[in-house]
Amino acid sequence: MTVFLYIVVALLIAISLWQLSKVVKIYKASKLDTEVANDADNKTQGGLMLLYLIFIFAFTFYGFYAWSEVMLGTPASAHGPNYDLLMNVSWAIIFPVFFAVQFLLHYFAFKYQGKEGNKALYYSDNMKLEMIWTIVPVIVLTILILFGLFSWNDIMSFDFEDEAEQPIVVELYAQQFSWTARYAGADNTLGDANVRLIDYDNVNVLGLDTSDKNYADDVIAKELHLPVGKRVHFKIRSQDVLHSAYMPHFRAQMNCVPGMVTEFSFIPTVTTVDMRKDDKIVAKIARINVLRAERRKAGEDLDEEDYIFDYLLLCNKICGQSHYNMQMKIVVETPEEYAAWMRTQDKAKDVITVAGN
Amino acid sequence: MSQDDHGHHKETFVTKYIFSIDHKMISKQYLITGIFMGIIGIAMSMLFRLQLAWPEEPFKIMELLLGGTMAPGGVLNADAYLALVTIHGTIMVFFVLTAGLSGTFSNLLIPLQIGARDMASGFLNMVSYWLFFLSSVIMLISLFVEAGPASAGWTVYPPLSALPQAIPGSGMGMTLWLVSMAIFIASSLLGSLNYIVTVINLRTKGMTMTRLPLTIWTFFVTAIIGVVSFPVLFSAALLLIMDRSFGTSFYLSDIFINGEVLHYQGGSPVLFEHLFWFLGHPEVYIVLLPALGITSEVIATNSRKPIFGYRAMIASILAIAFLSTIVWGHHMFISGMNPFLGSVFTFTTLLIAIPSAVKAFNYITTLWKGNLQFNPAMLFSIGLVSTFVSGGLTGIILGDSTLDINVHDTMFVVAHFHLVMGVTAVYGFLAGVYHWFPKMFGKMMSKKLGYLHFWITAVGAYGVFYPMHFTGLAGLPRRYYNNTSFPIFDDLTDINIIITVFALITGLGQLIFLYNFINSIFNGEKAPQNPWRSTTLEWTTPVEHMHGNWPGDIPEVHRWSYDYSKPGHDEDFVPQNVPMKPGEKELHH
């Protein structure tokens, strides 16, 4: 399909050149050519405007035909479907406006191309029209703003006091150029921490305050495991510069700011295993593996094994040289699997050597 | 400069071409500097697009242009990639589309279109240009610093921009960046004050505010936004300099890097983000409004019709200017600021769609039943409306705090702002150059090359930025040196190649413009006094430039600037200095 696109572009360029050369010939014949547009120019350029309109529309449709499959696919969090709905409502507003406006703009350009002797309409004001294109956007935007605000408040309220089941508290810790997760443990309370307390000799890599007893059962991990269907409350820290914890499949993102703790929260709804069976993901991963096989054949040094889908945490705020490779695997699993995994993890009190002991 | 002065003092090469206080010469200086910086900015984007399409493949041109440190063996390294992205953004936003665009056309058109002999202060105007020149030179020098130029992104968020330990570019390169920007801001403020004072005080007789061409309205309002917001960036830069060099902690707190704890305590990078975007968002409109003003003028002239909804246009310019100062937080929805602020900024941000829609529809209605003259400037103006709408519409998504969560800082954002402010403002700039070239240089540019230039650019601009929306929606972050570390992005390679091919074609296509520009200065057809048969005052001045602009008295203005195809007149335009016929009415009042 890419080839098709190149052909269309080449064709359009060829037509433009051909049209131009025709015009040049007409000028030379008439010998009345100046650098100001004349009727012949207006005719050519007006025609090209129409062609350009076709190009814009064809390219737009081509994009959706050829590239829709690269998009993220099924959301994996409880607020995800609502997010996608709002996104689709926005597109439903954007596309008709886009097509209508581009059509009017280029069609008028084509239709009203200048001719010697024509006179334009002296038409400078119309209160009614101005009101229409003020009030219609006002109404549409009011709907969008309200919808957006309700979703926003829903996603960004981190007060879970009244909820029957308390969320799992997980710290996301960012540093150049890796991620670490810290689970609050049985007490579901993270021990205090500050990067000033980092002590590599005593394996205190996150700067936990060992005088705060809550630290003892905290669990530090290099993979982010989450039980499906349970709310997670992320407390996010950074050790050095700004980072951003971006979990695209969960429609989740929050910056990591040194000197403060930021928050985000969502409920994962699809386990990694189930997501690997999702139609769109299956198709996407199959395509990717075909591409990787081709590259391997071409001599590129890639893993021999097929790529398997995993949720990802990416850094999405420029943070230095290896910003482009700052990632952590996210595993969403059943509560039983999660509990089993958790049991295999060391507790902070068993890892960190407390000074003086 | 009073009328009696002109012609009396001797001009040397230095006072005429270098330290000139004539607004027309200063305008040309801005234009040429802007174009030069534009070439560098665009060339940088072509280089990093090569890396994104064919990651880590050696390109001879890379080593040739960037040297062995940044591109050993022709392979761009990761630090150099970030440096290119950073300097590309800085140059395009500030040096090309702020100083290049406003500097050129505000200087040229404010005195000529309002009927003034020069700017209120010719000397300040000259100082403003030379400060701009100095800041350009410093920015270019920073490219040759050993550790590389600033690499923390054009937004230079600390702590990355504050700590050389975090990225090498934050050493000397960043120092030079800050010095350059501080000088740039001083230049911009001097220019803006001059524009404001000139528009308020030096309008000729009869030139009421409601007879001003929309170009002047946009330059005037742009200057006001600049005066309000640039000082805030200045203070942001100053505090950053303090943090970097004098050990203060405005933006920094609790940092552990390279195995040691730094002394900073109590500051917050979020403060910098607020200060930066308090300028940064109005900056979008500082870039955009002059382009829209130029378009208003070009579309009306070439449609042979009055601009539709003159008063609504002024109202929307003012509304955009006001709103632009209270929407900065939409860059910070997920910065960690209080989520309640996110709600407020969503509300104010989406409101901007209203005046923007008014402007777009007014342009389209101006075309309706016109007698369109497709000069190259007209093509670029129509192209501007097209990209302004296409890029603006996705603002509905990004301005919505909820939707921003998942597209923030992805390639989707890059696609959005390049269309709505990058390409749009560049089109405005180019439309202005094609339209006022005869006024600036007394020669005509080749229209054929202009047409070729437009169509390559027009196809290329969508070719580059439309596919980028898809990579963004696929979750690809911006400022990634490559995306090969994530197999999940492997299927984006084709799209990346398409984008780069279009970028190379479009970038090289600008050479046509460059050739046309330079060649026309020397070999162009001699310009008639009013080639586009326009109504505004600049076309009543002689083709040969002179101090004081008009040989005799300054013309008096009797009508607004949009009397095209007015019934009751033989010609299809009535210049502003033509008195009203008995019984004739100003229709727009």
Chosen from A45, A93, A246, A291 to mutate, greatest number of chain B CBs within 10 A: A45
Q: Tell me, yes or no, whether A6 and A105 share the same domain.
A: yes
Q: Tell me, yes or no, whether A219 and A84 share the same domain.
A: no
Q: What is the least distance, in Å, from the CA of B486 to any CA of chain A?
A: 8
Q: How far apart are CA A232 and CA A158, in angstroms?
A: 10
Percent of chain B with pLDDT over 90: 92
| The pLDDT value given to residue B3 | 45
- Mean pLDDT over each residue of chain B, to the nearest integer: 94
- ipTM for the complex shown: 0.94
pLDDT-derived band at B13 (thresholds 50, 70, 90) equals confident
Q: What is the least distance, in Å, from the CA of B79 to any CA of chain A?
A: 5
Identify whether A30 is part of a domain: yes
pLDDT-derived band at B12 (thresholds 50, 70, 90) equals confident
Identify whether A292 is part of a domain: yes
pLDDT (tens digit, 9 = 90+) per residue, B369-402?
999 999 999 999 999 999 999 999 999 999 999 9
pLDDT (tens digit, 9 = 90+) per residue, B85-103?
999 999 999 999 999 999 9
Q: Tell me, yes or no, whether A179 and A326 share the same domain.
A: yes
| The pLDDT value given to residue B7 | 47
Q: Into how many domains does chain A fold?
A: 2
Q: Does B462 sit within 8 Å of A59, measured CB to CB?
A: yes
Over the range B151-188, which residues count as b (16 or more CB within 10 Å of their CB) and which as e?
A: bbbbbbbbbbbbbbbbbbbbbbbbbbbbbbbbbbbbbb
pLDDT (tens digit, 9 = 90+) per residue, A88-118?
999 999 999 999 999 999 999 999 999 998 9
Identify whether B350 is part of a domain: yes
Q: Tell me, yes or no, whether A11 and A75 share the same domain.
A: yes
Lowest mean pLDDT across A39-43, A164-168, A268-272, B13-17: B13-17
CATH number at residue A224: 2.60.40.420
Q: Tell me, yes or no, whether A201 and A57 share the same domain.
A: no
Q: Does A120 sit within 8 Å of B303, measured CB to CB?
A: yes
B419/A contact by beta carbon, under 8 A: no
CATH number at residue B120: 1.20.210.10
Of A120, A176, A314, the CB nearest to B565: A120
Q: Into how many domains does chain B fold?
A: 1
Task: Read off φ and ψ for residue A247, nearest 5 degrees.
Answer: -120, 80
* For residue B10, pLDDT beyond 80: no
Q: Tell me, yes or no, whether A149 and A176 share the same domain.
A: no
Pick from B22, B187, B10, B204: nearest CA to B118: B22
Q: Does A252 sit within 8 Å of B406, measured CB to CB?
A: yes
Identify whether A163 is part of a domain: no
Give residue B331's domain range.
19-253+260-540
| The pLDDT value given to residue B79 | 94
Give residue A53's domain range.
2-114+129-156
Residues from chain B that touch A144, judged by Cβ atoms under 8 A, are 350, 396, 400
Identify whether A71 is part of a domain: yes
Identify whether B195 is part of a domain: yes
Q: How far apart are CA B562 and CA A204, in angstroms?
A: 73
By CB neighbour count within 10 A (0-12 exposed, 13-18 middle, 19+ buried), where does B581 fall?
exposed
Pick from B504, B336, B510: nearest CA to B430: B510
Of A52, A121, A249, the CB nearest to B458: A52
Q: Tell me, yes or no, whether A328 and A263 share the same domain.
A: yes
pLDDT (tens digit, 9 = 90+) per residue, A277-304?
999 999 999 999 999 999 999 888 888 7
In the structure encoding, which two tokens stand for residue A257, read together? 């700011």
Q: Tell me, yes or no, whether A137 and A217 share the same domain.
A: no
Q: What is the least distance, in Å, from the CA of A29 to any CA of chain B?
A: 16
Identify whether A192 is part of a domain: yes
Question: Terminal CA-to-CA distance of chain B, rounded, Å?
Answer: 34
| The pLDDT value given to residue A29 | 58
Q: Tell me, yes or no, whether A275 and A233 share the same domain.
A: yes
Identify whether B247 is part of a domain: yes
Q: Does B261 sit within 8 Å of A198, measured CB to CB?
A: yes
Residues B346-356, mean pLDDT to the nearest whole number? 92
| The pLDDT value given to residue B142 | 95
User: Is the distance from CB of A128 to CB of B365 less than 8 angstroms?
Assistant: no
Q: Tell me, yes or no, whether A15 and A51 share the same domain.
A: yes
Identify whether B7 is part of a domain: no
Identify whether B589 is part of a domain: no
* For residue A232, pLDDT beyond 70: yes
In the structure encoding, which two tokens stand for residue B477, read together? 């972050």
pLDDT-derived band at A5 (thresholds 50, 70, 90) equals confident
Q: Tell me, yes or no, whether A103 and A188 share the same domain.
A: no
Residues A219-225, mean pLDDT to the nearest whole number? 96
pLDDT-derived band at B119 (thresholds 50, 70, 90) equals very high
pLDDT-derived band at B105 (thresholds 50, 70, 90) equals very high
Residue B257 parent element (H or E): strand B256-257
Sign of the torsion formed by the C-alpha atoms of B416, B417, B423 and B429 = positive
Percent of chain B with pLDDT over 70: 98
B444/A contact by beta carbon, under 8 A: yes
Q: Which residue of B has its CA nearest to A96?
A: B393
Identify whether A98 is part of a domain: yes
Give the 3-state DSSP-derived string for chain A, with helices as H, strands as E and coil as C: CHHHHHHHHHHHHHHHHHHHHHHHHHHHHHCCCCCCCCHHHHHHHHHHHHHHHHHHHHHHHHHHHHHHHHCCCCCCECCHHHHHHHHHHHHHHHHHHHHHHHHHHHHHHHHCECCCCCCCCCCCCCHHHHHHHHHHHHHHHHHHHHHHHHHHHHHHCCCCCCCCCCCEEEEEEEECCEEEEEECCCCCCCCCECHHHCEHHHCECCCECCCCHHHCCCEEECCEEEECCCCEEEEEEECCCCEEEEEHHHCEEEEECCCCCEEEEECECCCHHHHCCCHHHHHHHHHHHHHHHHHHHCCCCCCCCCCCCCEEEEECCCCCCCHHHCEEEEEEECHHHHHHHHHCCCEHHHHCCCCCC
pLDDT (tens digit, 9 = 90+) per residue, B171-224?
999 999 999 999 999 999 999 999 999 999 999 999 999 999 999 999 999 999
- Collapsing DSSP to helix, strand or coil, B505 comes out as helix
By CB neighbour count within 10 A (0-12 exposed, 13-18 middle, 19+ buried), where does B260 fall?
exposed
